[in-house]
Amino acid sequence: MFGGTYGNLQATRAMLEQAYHLGFSPQEIIFTGDSAAYCADPEATARLIIDAGIPAIMGNCEEALANDSADCGCGFEEGSACDLLSVQWFGYCRAHISAYVRQWMASLPRSLVVEIGKFRLLCTHATPDSINRFVFASDFATGKFSPLDGPYDGYVTGHSGIPFATGTNGKCWINTGAAGMPANDGTSRVWYGIIEQQEDELVTRLMPLSYDYPAAISSMEKNGLPTGYAQCLADGLWPSHDILPEVEKNAGGRALEETTFRFCRKTGHAPAEPASPPDVSSSSAAE
């Protein structure tokens, strides 16, 4: 499970290679939206995902580009740093995607129901009722957000760019981070998730991925894209913190660890624990 490739061709290539290396077939891989955004190769990145033949859902970037909107649809406050940056990269994306890719973006579903063993999950870009709501781990602790009731054991999402998994009200919430931009953790790594059933538990591993970020930066520089996001690919620090709650803001610059999150219908969830490296031989039930 991965999303948020943001036009980062080198990271997307590395992501798919990693998925195949771990033994996943295209039908076991899911893309959670936002193929094109900050980086230099929106067309090639989207085509890589299309050609991979993997199930995909619509992110706010696909929605906005498919509608030929004036901005990315994140709902940033007017005049904020995110708002000003998005004007630049969104204009670039609009000018650099083909009618074919725009059509693909328009055709994507907003959600997918994913069955992993006996667990039924709803996969959406941001939340089930919003394609662009930012939800972070601290929003669960503060009670600002809790999953809606629904016939699901949990939800798998992206959009917010920082990976985490948690459980509340007998449901799990998994955000696999972004595969095309670091997690504001001071490292150049990007993130994906492996989800599988092990006995009675749904086990999620949130995994970092290293890739050829200097090539992605060079492509952005060649195309005159704003330096903030290019710099972020190297130092892992977001150019704007507008969307972050205080907890996540204060955690910025500290390297995230791989984690394993276990969820059980009967007992809820167990605390996340450091993960062991992915086991290539046991990938059959994951996506």
Residues that bind Fe ion (CB under 5 A): 34, 59-60, 159
Q: Give the nearer residue to Fe ion in terms of CB position, either 10 or 60.
A: 60
Q: Give the nearer residue to Fe ion in terms of CB position, either 109 or 268.
A: 109
**What minimum distance in Å lies between the beta carbon of 39 and Fe ion?**
14
Q: Give the nearer residue to Fe ion in terms of CB position, either 160 or 204.
A: 160
**What minimum distance in Å lies between the beta carbon of 49 and Fe ion?**
15
CA distance 59 to 77: 19
**What minimum distance in Å lies between the beta carbon of 61 and Fe ion?**
6
**What minimum distance in Å lies between the beta carbon of 12 and Fe ion?**
15
CA distance 200 to 269: 12
Contact 48, 2 (CB under 8 A): no
**What minimum distance in Å lies between the beta carbon of 160 and Fe ion?**
8
Residue carrying structure tokens 């150049």: 188
Q: Determine the residue with CB nearest Fe ion.
A: 159
Q: Give the nearer residue to Fe ion in terms of CB position, either 102 or 159.
A: 159
**What minimum distance in Å lies between the beta carbon of 262 and Fe ion?**
27
Supply the DSSP string of 124-143, one letter for each residue: ESSBTTBSS----HHHHHTT
- Going by C-beta distance under 8 Å and a sequence separation of 6 or more, which residues neighbour residue 258? 205, 206, 207, 208, 274, 275, 277
Contact 170, 155 (CB under 8 A): no
Contact 259, 272 (CB under 8 A): yes
CA distance 282 to 280: 6
Supply the DSSP string of 102-170, one letter for each residue: HHHHHH--SEEEEEETTEEEEEESSBTTBSS----HHHHHTTS--PPP-S-SEEEE-SSSS-EEEEETT
Q: Give the nearer residue to Fe ion in terms of CB position, either 88 or 260.
A: 88
Q: Give the nearer residue to Fe ion in terms of CB position, either 105 or 272.
A: 105
Q: Give the nearer residue to Fe ion in terms of CB position, either 7 or 59.
A: 59
Angle at 6 (CA atoms; ends 184, 172), nearest 5 degrees:
65
**What minimum distance in Å lies between the beta carbon of 88 and Fe ion?**
17
